[in-house]
């Protein structure tokens, strides 16, 4: 598998579609007439201020909205996994398990326009909250970034930059996508802009049916005897997002904004059936409400002051659709409620020639109420940071940064950052060191959890004696970039100390008595089935070494080839033993070929893309085998009508019908979640 991946990367000699950004050229009333691929887009995440990709001292991956659209992608997880090999995802009924460079959800900071997205389900970020129709670009920063972004940014930062068009008075867009197994997305936007005032309204509906790849499971306690089950391999859902944002710029110096987003999702699983296993009595229901206000004032082109306040609420629970002994149909039982308030201030100055200095301050208050975990706690974080970027002499730039964080529970921590960049001509050579810091979550500190799943009790304890997790990240990068080709090679090491893990502890007579006293609701029959309980502890070390190769080439006008390769060697150490990090993937690659051409009022875009990866490690379980998935998408734009753009599309996902049909068992894990080959139809309509 490794050989195949290397051959694919070298043979195509193409790389990150993240390096290309597509611009539309408009003439009169006609729409897309030509496209120019630029390999040097504007980014903000790496340095904290806007600059061209080749000028940033910290390497950043960029996924543009046009690239995402060309591949026929309408979901956030689809954009990352199809276009970034260092990212993997595993969907389940409790959200999506996200990994970046071998490290999981809790080490990845997800931002929308620089503000943190709150709301997780068993530490799995609910990615359905992200409305892809508003995404202008996605910027991904690998490695520890705590000097600018604070806690949780140990594996990296994913910053979603949204779009607010300003060039048209009124425009309405509808974007629809339909494929097999009930997959349906509908995005509608209404944009109004006049005399500095902008109103941006959006609605998205996303749904998918549950499905099985194998309707058998092993009988408990047997490795050979099977029985039928209705348990879904993929859990269906219905999700809605409604958003409204206002902007106002009375002059070139001042810009203000305010927005609100409401989110609702409910799963769609088979109901309990006494004749077959795998059904459930309830669906999981999720709700989120996020609002923010902000402003930026530019004293000069290089001097500005920015302030933002964000309130984010998220909750989930069980909504019963089967009558039980305790609940009627329609009853809702809340499991978890989160709330986060955050205020940020950032000042950007150009005190000297060829320099940028940033000063910032953050305040954040997190609240967690978890009925099942017996938690009602809150914690605050205060932070101040500074960063200075200076061109020391020709072609040589240095950046140094430092963040001081005061945490309610874990006191004060310093996280530094230093980068050097040497930039002769079209070449860039970068060296980076950055420290990471992660304060344990409120659930890891305070959890006091008891539940019964299919008759088997589960107990989890938090630990208020935990220490923060800390990391040290080192990387070297070499890059060559012109208007025709961009090549980037990055090697890195990320070392994490005091990793917080959930330790399983075997139950003996003494501990059983303690557990029965802690949870008097546990019956004697349930206690007899209890084999172990879990406790959060600082016990592990993490060590991630990796190599990334990204190349992108404009072969001729309208034709771009790209590929990315990521080698990730991720390990964790408990005691004296090193084992692969769970869900880590040693080798992965993404490749894409895109062709666009227009004939008068008709434009054709053809995109072929694929993801290839080696096996996924599951220590203690059966590893999931590697796979290769290829997709093709074609879109057809019609621009002859004066105020109307029509763009139907048709594609084929999973061309070669790769499916994991292994029988589900307690020691078996999965990495490939597709139901097989599917036709995909889409229609984009834009009125302007």
Tokens coding 337: 């409620």
CATH code of the domain covering residue 220: 2.40.170.20
Tokens coding 210: 């549950």
Tally the domains of the chain.
1
Q: Which residues contact 10 (CB under 8 A, 6 or more apart)?
A: none
**Residue numbers of the domain that contains 35:** 2-687
Q: Which residues contact 8 (CB under 8 A, 6 or more apart)?
A: 563, 589, 591, 612
Q: What is the mean pLDDT of residues 196-206?
A: 94
Percent pLDDT > 70 in the chain is 92
Tokens coding 309: 């306040």
CB atoms within 10 A of CB 464: 10
Confidence category of residue 144, pLDDT binned at 50, 70, 90: confident
Statement: residue 34 has pLDDT above 80: no
Q: What is the pLDDT of residues 41-51, one digit of tens each?
A: 777 777 777 77
Confidence category of residue 38, pLDDT binned at 50, 70, 90: low
The sign of the dihedral angle between the CA atoms of 140, 144, 148, 149 is: positive
Q: What is the pLDDT of residues 640-661, one digit of tens each?
A: 888 899 999 999 999 999 999 9
Report how far apart the first and last C-alpha atoms of the chain are (Å, whole number).
Answer: 49
Q: Is 133 helix (H, G, I), strand (E, B) or coil?
A: helix
| CA–CA dist 553, 560 (Å, integer) | 6
pTM of the model: 0.89
Q: What is the pLDDT of residues 232-251, one digit of tens each?
A: 999 999 999 999 999 999 99
Confidence category of residue 502, pLDDT binned at 50, 70, 90: confident
């Amino acid at each position: 598998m490794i050989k195949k991946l290397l051959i694919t990367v070298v043979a195509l000699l193409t790389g990150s579609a993240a390096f290309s950004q597509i611009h539309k050229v408009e003439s009169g009333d006609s729409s897309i007439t030509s496209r120019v691929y630029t390999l040097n887009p504007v980014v903000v995440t790496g340095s904290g201020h806007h600059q061209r990709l080749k000028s940033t001292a910290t390497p950043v991956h960029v996924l543009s909205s046009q690239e995402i659209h060309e591949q026929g992608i309408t979901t956030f997880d689809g954009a990352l996994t199809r276009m970034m090999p260092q990212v993997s995802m595993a969907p389940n009924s409790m959200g999506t398990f996200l990994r970046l460079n071998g490290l999981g959800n809790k080490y990845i900071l997800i931002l929308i326009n620089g503000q943190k997205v709150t709301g997780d389900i068993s530490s799995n970020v609910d990615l359905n909250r992200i409305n892809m129709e508003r995404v202008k670009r996605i910027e991904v920063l690998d490695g520890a970034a705590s000097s600018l972004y604070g806690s949780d940014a140990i594996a990296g930062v994913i910053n979603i930059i949204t779009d607010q068009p300003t060039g048209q008075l009124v425009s309405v867009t509808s974007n629809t996508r339909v494929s097999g197994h009930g997959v349906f997305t509908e995005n509608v936007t209404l944009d109004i802009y006049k005399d500095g005032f902008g109103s941006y309204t959006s609605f998205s509906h996303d749904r998918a049916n549950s499905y099985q790849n194998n309707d058998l499971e092993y009988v408990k306690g047997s490795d050979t005897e099977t029985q039928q089950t209705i348990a879904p391999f993929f859990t269906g859902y219905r999700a809605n997002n409604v958003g409204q944002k206002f902007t106002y710029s009375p002059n070139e110096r001042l810009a203000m904004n305010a927005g609100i987003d409401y989110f609702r999702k409910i799963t769609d699983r088979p109901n309990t059936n006494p004749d077959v296993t795998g059904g459930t009595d309830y669906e999981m229901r999720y709700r989120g409400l996020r609002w923010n206000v902000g402003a930026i004032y530019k004293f000069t082109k290089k001097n500005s002051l920015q302030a933002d306040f964000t309130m984010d609420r998220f909750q989930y629970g069980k909504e019963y659709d089967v009558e039980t002994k305790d609940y009627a149909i329609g009853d809702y039982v809340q499991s978890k409620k989160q709330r986060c308030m955050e205020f940020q201030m950032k000042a950007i100055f150009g005190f000297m020639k060829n320099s940028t200095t940033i000063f910032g301050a953050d305040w954040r208050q997190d609240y967690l109420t978890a009925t099942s975990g017996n938690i009602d706690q809150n914690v605050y974080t205060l932070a101040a940071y500074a960063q200075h970027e200076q061109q020391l002499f020709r072609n040589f730039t240095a950046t140094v940064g430092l963040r001081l964080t005061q945490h309610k529970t874990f006191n004060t921590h310093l996280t530094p950052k230093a980068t050097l960049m040497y930039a002769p001509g079209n070449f860039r050579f970068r060296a980076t060191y950055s420290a990471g810091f992660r304060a344990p979550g409120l659930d890891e500190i305070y959890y006091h959890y008891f539940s019964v799943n299919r008759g088997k009790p589960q107990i989890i304890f938090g630990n208020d004696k935990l220490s923060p997790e800390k990391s040290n990240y080192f990387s070297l990068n070499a890059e060559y970039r012109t208007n025709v080709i961009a090549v980037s090679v990055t090697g890195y090491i990320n070392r994490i100390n005091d990793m917080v893990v959930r330790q399983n502890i075997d139950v003996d007579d003494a501990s059983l008595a303690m557990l029965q006293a802690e949870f008097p609701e546990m019956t004697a029959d349930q206690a007899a089935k209890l084999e172990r309980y879990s406790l959060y502890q600082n016990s592990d070390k993490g060590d991630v070494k990796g190599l990334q190769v990204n190349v992108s080439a404009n072969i001729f006008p309208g034709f771009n080839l790209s590929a990315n390769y990521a080698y990730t060697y991720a390990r964790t150490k408990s005691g004296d033993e090193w084992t692969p990090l769970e869900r880590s993937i040693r080798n992965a690659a993404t490749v894409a070929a895109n062709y666009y051409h227009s004939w008068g009022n008709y434009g054709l875009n053809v995109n072929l893309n694929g993801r290839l990866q080696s096996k996924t490690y599951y220590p203690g379980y059966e590893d999931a085998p590697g796979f290769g998935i290829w997709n093709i998408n074609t879109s057809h734009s019609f621009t002859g009508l004066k105020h109307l753009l029509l763009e139907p599309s048709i594609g084929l996902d999973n061309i070669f019908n790769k499916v994991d049909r292994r029988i589900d068992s307690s020691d078996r894990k999965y990495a490939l979640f597709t139901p097989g080959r599917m036709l995909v139809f889409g229609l984009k309509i834009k009125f302007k």
